[in-house]
Copies of this chain bind each other. A is one copy, B any other.
């Protein structure tokens, strides 16, 4: 079988792509502080840049708490579309867990619960997605998309609305159209 006959590899990020971490962040932040931040406050900036510097540590603490990842909602349609993608592509979940090492096991358990059809051998925890040998990476983080050597597909999130230079998908229905139609 020649290289070109092989199934293409699609790598998929976790946070803000299949796991709604932002909603949980906002909910915990608004419980502890008076600003009542909404998604609309985050257009074009990361949550870390939208809060006073003295409160960034609180955001980091949320992620370190044992129950943070366990309670995250699944992004709409991601389960159905990922399962469909598997019929035609080799799908890997690739998450930059190295910044929050206590999250490894919680993320692994979350995946087992919500995406049981993804073999554990197809899960990758890494810091630099440039190490992935994939054809596509679907990610909300332009920094990781730039490190990646295949084609980066930007998954829309409030923070990345102004980012250009990548094909963009707004949701999982867009992913389905791009890869399966």
Instruction: Determine the chain B residues whose CB is within 8 A of the CB of A134 once the complex forms.
Output: 131
Cβ B127 vs Cβ A126 within 8 A: no
A128 within 8 A of B: yes
Cβ A125 vs Cβ B125 within 8 A: yes
| A-side interface size class | 20 to 34
Cβ B125 vs Cβ A120 within 8 A: no
* Identical chains bound together, number: 2
Of B119, B120, B125, B131, which is within 8 A of A92 by CB? Answer: B131
CA distance A122 to B129 in the complex (A): 10
A18 CB to closest chain B CB, in angstroms?
A: 17
What 1/0 mask marks residues of chain A from 109 to 141 whose CB sits below 8 Å from any chain B CB? 100000000011111111110111110000000
24 contacts between A and B (CB under 8 A): A11-B131, A92-B131, A98-B108, A98-B120, A98-B123, A101-B104, A101-B105, A101-B108, A101-B109, A120-B127, A123-B126, A123-B127, A124-B124, A124-B125, A124-B126, A124-B131, A125-B125, A125-B126, A126-B126, A130-B133, A131-B134, A132-B132, A133-B133, A133-B149
Cβ B133 vs Cβ A121 within 8 A: no
Instruction: Determine the chain B residues whose CB is within 8 A of the CB of A108 once the complex forms.
Output: 98, 101, 104
Instruction: Determine the chain B residues whose CB is within 8 A of the CB of A104 once the complex forms.
Output: 101, 104-105, 108, 125
A89 CB to closest chain B CB, in angstroms?
A: 13
A137 CB to closest chain B CB, in angstroms?
A: 11
A81 within 8 A of B: no
A58 within 8 A of B: no
A145 CB to closest chain B CB, in angstroms?
A: 15
